[in-house]
Structure 1
Amino acid sequence: MGEQNWITLLTHEFHGLLYIFGACLLSLVVTLKLFGETRRRLAYVIILALLSCLYFATETVDPFVYAVHLTPLSIALAVLFEGLVPGLAAWAAFTLCGTLIVGNDWLPTIAGTTAMLLLGAYFDRRTTGCVSYARYLQRYLLLVAMHVAIYLAWGYGIGNGLPGGRATLWTLLGTVVSSLLVSAVYHRVKYQEYLQMELMNAEKYQVIGQMAASISHEIRNPLTTAKGFLQLMGKKGLNEETRERYREYAAEGINHANAIISDYLNYAKPTREPQQPIDIRAELDGLMPWVMPLSTMADVEVRIQHMKDGPLMMLGEPKKFQQCMLNILKNAIESMPTGGTMTVMTWTEGGKLCIQVSDTGVGMSEEQLRQIGKPFFTTKEAGTGLGMLVVIQLVQLMSGTIRYKSKLGQGTVCDIRFKRYEPVRLERTS
């Protein structure tokens, strides 16, 4: 084997290495959107098959390089990093191609590749989580060395015309270097995939945390109101009628909190209740007794003005509407730590029902206004930032819109609009 021959062998190894790197890169790019384990492994098998076909169609295949370089690197890569099914696919493809197309001896080829497959499957079953690169490298080199040793031992044992010593050494050196490079690159690919899965799990945990924080935030409103009425019941000089009314308001608050908990327990399977006609005027008047204890403690005057007589009807869900308005009214009161005035107005405008809640509180900057409705954004020291997120979602669920206007030191105006509901009246026919 002359100098030109071993250089040619290294050239063949370099070309094969480029195809393997191409498979690694394509696997990383394609599997970015394939989150299922089965789909990712199927994508790897398809990529490997396509590049193998391209390799045979465009490259001059050297049987020795194919046997001791491309075959062990590819099978070890598939079975160690992708699992048994891709490993089986790689084993079948390279064994058949090596024996039927390239012309390598079938016995050492099958013996070497089968030994790699079985040992690689054993390593794969014992692997959980993300394994360090040093551990993968040890296993990878062991599989490659096993196949190369079996193939060379058989070849030199029967004297079937393998390359001379110098050419073989250079080829084996190229296999070792390629093993280091391939295992390092693909371990990086798998590590990025592992980080992506961890990020997805972290997002799931964040959603769970958001829901838990949101539940605690939402049930605090009716429980605070119920606590206020229970405290008022302890005042001396209350007549029985007033005491009974306070008791009913406290019980309603607890029932409201219980209903909110039930809604969030069904969050995994969101249900949309049938909408029904709601009189927003009556609903707002019904919420005032809930708001008054909080406003009294905060020294806030509450004014409610209905600009139109008669019912103001919309289609919606009463509990969701109450939950939205209670949040908005409570936020308005809490924005006035030194007292002030909260004004609630209702009117109609074309086919819309309009509700406006304004306060004389601390107000918000333009940047804070843009952040309203984003998770965990809040202007309160003890707030979670999830209350307004829930409000906006519920308003949109009832086909409404909500907008805020505010200036620092001048208070905030919340404008909510819903579609007006006009009951269909059937005319009598004689």
Structure 2
Amino acid sequence: MSNNLDITAIRNDFPILEEIVNGKQLVYFDNAATTQKPKVVLDAISGYYEHYNANIHRGIHQLAEKATAAFEDSRKRLQQFLNAPSFEEIIFTYGTTDGINLVAQTYGRKFLKEGDEVIISAMEHHSNIVPWQMLCEEKGCILKVIPINDDGELLMDEYEALLTERTKFVSVVHVSNSLGTINPVKEIIRKAHEVGAKVLLDGAQASSHLSIDVQDLDCDFYSLSLHKIYGPTGMGILFGKKELLNAMPPYRGGGEMIKEVTFEKTTYNELPYKFEAGTPNIADVIAAKYALDYVDTLGKPNIAAYENSLLEYATQAVMEIEGLKIIGKAKEKVSVLSFVIDGIHHQDTGVLLDQQGIAVRTGHHCTQPLMRRFNITGTTRASFAVYNTTAEIDRLIQGLHKVKKMLG
């Protein structure tokens, strides 16, 4: 398999890949849940705590100034990563879920009213279903769902039919975590804007595989998690258009998000700090920059091409296993391979693969409505990252044959 990447050198950047699991060298195929972290990210986290641990923005001593500068450098780096017009449009969150909830509970609460309609899709993660259900129940709004075809692609004609003058918000996943489907989000956004609706994209899965340009997409909000992009857990960002963020009320109250507090009245800080109450996750925000720099060193197009070649190799290989059915056959997809095997429960498959040192994800992947659409309870999901190899896929195939022999 030819590519522009030195996969052996890349694998050496990830210490966890040397782990032994059940007597076998780890094969990590659970990248859609979280990616592993390169040494530069691990060093950035420990380096902060060892050398300049201090609270940010409020101190005038040297450590505080160094920590503040590193923290805000990460914000500018993330602005660049999304091609956002301004650093003020980058809000630090603790992940994609937090960003979606922030929008639902601030923009949604202020601007949506009874009878307004919110559109999501049939392939949403629970994190992009439940916040809108909660809001619709509270405000008396109507939640509509874009259906999908048997290949796991959105039915765009049906989406257009759902759009009305009452549609005020559309919130859809950029890339499905369960199927790998890449949705036509630019078209979704354009059509939503034609009826005056705002659009949020759940970028949790897309951010590690696709180049993202929020200005080109023209989305109103974009939420993602850094732990899916070789960065630390507990850290994410929400991009929002400046005029919308300025119009939204604060999400949490406390330190940092204020200008002045008296017992009579509080005035709020400017963007982005209005939405960042309390001491943030400083070390992980700083480390996020190193994760993005690492990805840039390899090159997003190179990563995507290599991951796609892994997906093609694995897809061809699993199709030769009798009784195995792939769930999610979209023409446009990232390196996620979900499947079921006739007569074998996905959880049993996962347990037996784990015994062979192979980490996959099993279950409904926080997409229970999607599983019901396919009349299944869950899948086995193998998801590939830049440090995976065809030799590891061969081990997966051998493992699946063993599963079939034992349980089939």
So what's the TM-score if we normalise by structure 1? Answer: 0.22
Considering fraction of residues, name the structure with more helix.
Answer: 1
The structure that is strand-richer by fraction is 2
